[in-house]
Structure 1
Amino acid sequence: MSMSSSAYHSIVRSVRHNTPGSDDTEADVRFSRYIVARLLAYLKPHKAKMAAAFATMLLVTGLSLWIPILIKDAIDVHIKAADTGALLRISVTIALAYGGTFVFQALQRYFMAWVGQRVLATLRLELVTKLQILPIDYHTRRIVGVIVSRVIGDVSVINELLSQGLIQLFSDVILLFGIIWVMLALNANLALLTFTVIPFMALSTYIFSKKARDRFRRTRTLAANMIGNFAETLTGMRVVQAFGQEQKMTRLFDADNSDTRQANIHSMKLAFTFLPVVEIMSVVATCLILLFGARAAINNLEGITVGIVAAFLAYATRFFQPIQELSQLFTTMQSAMAGGEKIVEILDTDEGVKDPEDGRQMPPIQGRIEFSNVGFHYDESVAVLHNIDLVVEQGQTIALVGPTGAGKTSIANLIPRFYDATEGRVLIDGVDIRTVTQSSLRSQMGMVTQEPHLFTGPV
């Protein structure tokens, strides 16, 4: 059936989007109105395009429901009356309906792609902007690869849910209830007989969704760990090669890669076990329609005609597609909620060092640095600096000497305001650096770090 192709791509897409995720735990991801509200806000600037996509979706759904009715009328009315003129007209109408379906589907996909790409770009830009103003402490405590996977992988699955999933959700629900309503209107008894497979379908969908949620989340977790560990290996490649640890790092990556591969295989096994269940339910419904509907049509029972049987067969092929797609959407929603929680966590993270509301521009720096009774700690339990009083005159060169952890780097990090002193003041040319903007301060400084980083670009 045509449903197999769409179901296949839907399942593969679900597994793919649940792979490059963030550092999710195995805990259940619950529905959060706050997360949903934050994510839906990205659609507001594109209300017109979303409305257009919704309108074209309604047209596609309406035409899909109308075509089997046209086929029924052609069989029961015009073929029976041998009205070739009417058959020609209804054939042209059916062709135009199919053509309209294709056109409106193309427009719907265009509108959704248009919105999706802009939401994707906006969300990633906000994340990158936020990450660049978060304090150094935030980045030193997190794995680079995991952050990258959030900006790339989590944003992609959220974008799919916002730009396509919502429209698909409404489309599937409207199509499903539309088919139920039309089938009941055509013949209630035959419709109820067809619906006997729904409880089995609902049960299998529930079991699949519950297991898929756990397996897909495990896949995300393992993939994020693999990306993070690999990013650390690349960053520390000089150390790896200097100590001859290439084989060890390869073995570690192979272990992570194997775990991720097995998790993906288990997820795919579950997905492709569910797909035949959908097909079997569709086949059972088709057999019920043929067995009881055709016999009733032959014997002129319960008002069932050959046209009604043909319409029911057409609706049966469409009936289980929205059910299957809704189960896949549930998985996508779980993944999007997990990713959305992590992304909103980044966007809501306190920036730490902030410019004062009335911050002024730093005057041209002459070079006098003063630490006045400065104290500093990264967390309240461990103090790094105590009552530091230090003056460095303009043009003077000094060296800070001490064991690891003595606070040398911490002193250097306080000058450009990577951190703020928890006690006392840091002054440059007599100006408290907390009273000026960070950009005006740092733009007048140069720094050579312990580990230089070269950016890609022309010299």
Structure 2
Amino acid sequence: MARNRYDMDEVLEDSFDISQLKRLAGYVSPYKGKMVSVIFLMLSASALTMTVPIFFQRIMDIYIPQKDMRKIIMVSLLTLAVASYSAIAMRFKIKTMSVIGQSIIHAIRTDIFNHLQELPFSYYDDRPHGKIQVRVVNYVNSLSDLLSNGIVNTVTDLCNLFFIIIFMLICDARLTLVCLCGLPVLALVIIFIKKKQRRAWQIQSNKQSNLNAYIAESINGIRVTQSFVRENENNQIFNNLSGNYRKAWMKAIKFNFTMGPSVDMISAVTTSFIYVLGIGWILAPNATLTVGVLIAFTAYIGRFWAPINTLAGFYNSLLTAISYLERIFETIDEPVLVKDAEGAFEMPTVKGEVCFKNVCFSYEEGHRILDNINFTAKPGQTYAFVGPTGAGKSTIVNLICRFYNVDSGQILIDGTDIANVTIHSLRTQMGIMMQDSFIFSGTIMDNIRYGNREATDDQVIRAAKTVCAHDFISQMENGYYTEVNERGSRLSAGQRQLISFARALLADPKILILDEATSSIDTETEILLQKGLNELLKGRTSFIIAHRLSTIKNADCILYVDKGGILERGTHEELLEQKGAYYDLYISQYDFLA
């Protein structure tokens, strides 16, 4: 998925790769035994129903002229038995294939979601989240009918066609050839619309993706929208995107609806010829056709075109599914750029020394963010990063957690290159609080325990007390078991940060990373929090990013980051004595507060 916005279409593939259908077959394969049993049952039911027109032929040509009511009743009961067996087989098919179809859908959705969990931050930096979500939900759901009914129906109907043609030939070979004359015409229709139909559904999926991306963005930004009174402008954007989706859908569905009427028209024309020829042969002096045979044959005509209509529907579903499969497998195939190296080993128990050796990094080629960064933090030390927005402070701590891969250089923890250890063993020994204090839907207790599921309630409460979150949590209606909404909409920005702080601390990490941990906390709370932090930071290697310099005065080393490098380093007092960039930043904050 190339980088784009909600108003930019994704790249369309010029040709379909047949290997994608083979991959889909891989999901179907575990259920082939059950599908074979369903197909066998449906074929047996279909074969039995093929005898029904023969029953009617015998009734018309033999039993009625002979006035043999006993045989008429017997044939009627036999027809009822065949219908009952067919109904039971259909019920079994619907139930079994619904389970199989949804199981396959679940497997595909699980694979795509699991892969999304492994993709690096860079993947989510480059594309609207709504375009990712539509692939997991809408596109996968669109495969449901194809998997639940399409495959079995196709195999069954193909076999049915074979059976029907045999019975039609038994009835009358001449009429059968007339009926088959419609197939080449139908083939021409399919060839004519095939490429246009697939491209139309690709465009439709693009417009659906754009619309979904904008809806997700609008919901996430609703407070900003209402604050700046942007409702009318947003409605106009939505109407344009929705209108584009409607037009694309109408164009795509037009091709789908071409198949059904085409089949019906060809069927009607061939049936008319059969009636004209059949009646002519019946009325001829040397009649070569009976009324019963014509009635039986016309019954087979309906049965002949019904599976062809179903196959045409399957063809439509397949072309629609292909446009979605391309997007689904594209996401599953998205390379995991940050992953365990071959032969990666478990990170030993961390003591806390972190060393950057000539580290270079860029988000985009040719735009280097960090250039030859070097520093060493000893176990138990607190390092603070300051500097202008966009200088690379958050990038440095993200690299420690290996959320991105370095372009060159090394990051060592206790002398071990983190590129050589498993990501899970590395991050489980870190406590991390990002700038975005994300709160998940659920209880406050669950949110704090998110990074340490084994923690007891007492440990959760102790962590909350350390970061001064206990008081406001206790005052809520259900305390720690109060339900909060996604993103913590019921909580203030400061409360969300304190909960996220407690979540990071509960992991009891050897390396603690706090990215703007106190930016939304009032000064009074910050003073209380600082007391707890001073105690907590003992024995841990900590990295703190803060624009509020009062929170980092006691750091063992402060690094001033700008222009891709570390311009200054030292303690608070040492940097003030240098009267450089840090001094200017401190004085500007002091004057502002004054």
Tell me the residue number matched to 2:128.
Answer: 143
Q: Which of 407, 417, 423 is matched with 1:432 structurally?
A: 417
Partners of 1:242 and 1:152 in 2: CA distance: 31
Partners of 1:339 and 1:276 in 2: CA distance: 25
Q: Which of 402, 407, 415 is matched with 2:400 structurally?
A: 415
Tell me the residue number matched to 2:218.
Answer: 233
Q: Tell me, what secondary structure is at the counterpart of 1:391?
A: strand
CA drift at 1:224: 1.1
Q: Specify whether residues 424 and 216 from structure 1 end up closer, same or farther in structure 2 by C-alpha distance, changes over 3 A only.
A: closer
Q: Which of 100, 103, 122 is matched with 2:85 structurally?
A: 100
CA drift at 1:98: 1.3
- Contact 2:205-2:324 within 8 A present in 1 as well: no
CA drift at 1:404: 4.2
Alignment of 1:63-102 (within 5 A): 63-102=48-87
Partners of 2:55 and 2:117 in 1: CA distance: 59
Tell me the residue number matched to 1:375.
Answer: 360
Alignment of 1:440-455 (within 5 A): 440-455=425-440
Q: Tell me, what secondary structure is at the counterpart of 1:331?
A: helix
CA drift at 1:457: 1.1
CA drift at 1:205: 4.2
CA drift at 1:137: 1.0
Q: Tell me, what secondary structure is at the counterpart of 1:80?
A: helix
Q: Tell me, what secondary structure is at the counterpart of 2:347?
A: coil
Q: Which of 142, 148, 153 is matched with 2:138 structurally?
A: 153
1:351 to 2:350 alignment: no
Tell me the residue number matched to 1:58.
Answer: 43
Q: Which amino acid aligns with 2:89?
A: F
1:33 to 2:13 alignment: no
Deviations 1:409-450 (A, max 9, x none): 221110111112232221233332223322222123222222
Alignment of 1:148-297 (within 5 A): 148-272=133-257, 274-297=259-282
Partners of 2:314 and 2:9 in 1: CA distance: 22
Tell me the residue number matched to 2:580.
Answer: none
Q: Which amino acid aligns with 2:173?
A: A
- Contact 1:176-1:319 within 8 A present in 2 as well: yes
CA drift at 1:388: 0.7
Partners of 1:34 and 1:382 in 2: CA distance: 37
Deviations 1:363-401 (A, max 9, x none): 444443221221223344333222111223444444323
- Contact 2:204-2:245 within 8 A present in 1 as well: yes
Unaligned runs of 5+ in 2: 1-7, 445-594
Deviations 1:29-65 (A, max 9, x none): 42x3321221111122222211112212312331332
Q: Which amino acid aligns with 1:53?
A: V
Q: Tell me, what secondary structure is at the counterpart of 1:399?
A: strand
Partners of 1:211 and 1:47 in 2: CA distance: 33
Deviations 1:196-245 (A, max 9, x none): 44444444444454543333332222111100122122233344344433
Q: Tell me, what secondary structure is at the counterpart of 2:438?
A: coil
Partners of 2:64 and 2:395 in 1: CA distance: 89
Tell me the residue number matched to 2:31.
Answer: 46
1:117 to 2:125 alignment: no
Partners of 2:101 and 2:42 in 1: CA distance: 16
Q: How many residues in Structure 1 have an aligned counterpart in Structure 2?
A: 437
Once superposed, what is the RMSD of the aligned Cα atoms?
2.6
Q: Which of 282, 306, 322 is matched with 1:337 structurally?
A: 322
Partners of 1:172 and 1:23 in 2: CA distance: 38
Q: Tell me, what secondary structure is at the counterpart of 2:357?
A: strand
Q: Which amino acid aligns with 2:21?
A: V
Unaligned runs of 5+ in 1: 1-21
Q: Which amino acid aligns with 1:350?
A: P
> Where is the helix percentage greater, Structure 1 or Structure 2?
1
Q: Which amino acid aligns with 2:324?
A: G
Q: Specify whether residues 372 and 210 from structure 1 end up closer, same or farther in structure 2 by C-alpha distance, changes over 3 A only.
A: closer
Q: Specify whether residues 440 and 241 from structure 1 end up closer, same or farther in structure 2 by C-alpha distance, changes over 3 A only.
A: farther
Partners of 1:279 and 1:249 in 2: CA distance: 45
CA drift at 1:187: 0.9
Q: Tell me, what secondary structure is at the counterpart of 1:447?
A: strand
Partners of 2:324 and 2:256 in 1: CA distance: 21
Partners of 1:440 and 1:320 in 2: CA distance: 62
CA drift at 1:358: 4.2
Q: Which amino acid aligns with 2:157?
A: D
Q: Specify whether residues 261 and 77 from structure 1 end up closer, same or farther in structure 2 by C-alpha distance, changes over 3 A only.
A: same
- Contact 1:367-1:394 within 8 A present in 2 as well: yes
- Contact 1:209-1:327 within 8 A present in 2 as well: no
CA drift at 1:163: 4.1
Q: Tell me, what secondary structure is at the counterpart of 1:384?
A: strand
CA drift at 1:25: 4.6
Q: Specify whether residues 273 and 352 from structure 1 end up closer, same or farther in structure 2 by C-alpha distance, changes over 3 A only.
A: closer
CA drift at 1:257: 0.9
Q: Specify whether residues 421 and 265 from structure 1 end up closer, same or farther in structure 2 by C-alpha distance, changes over 3 A only.
A: closer
Q: Which amino acid aligns with 1:442?
A: R
Deviations 1:55-114 (A, max 9, x none): 123123313322222222222232233222221211111111111111112212222112
CA drift at 1:124: 0.9
Looking at both structures, which has the greater relative contact order when contacts are Cα pairs under 8 Å and sequence separation is at least 6?
1
Tell me the residue number matched to 1:3.
Answer: none
What is the TM-score with the length of structure 1 in the denominator?
0.86
1:303 to 2:295 alignment: no
What is the TM-score with the length of structure 2 in the denominator?
0.68
Q: Which has the larger radius of gyration?
A: 2
CA drift at 1:115: 1.1
Percent identity between matched residues is 33
CA drift at 1:179: 2.3
Q: Which amino acid aligns with 2:279?
A: A
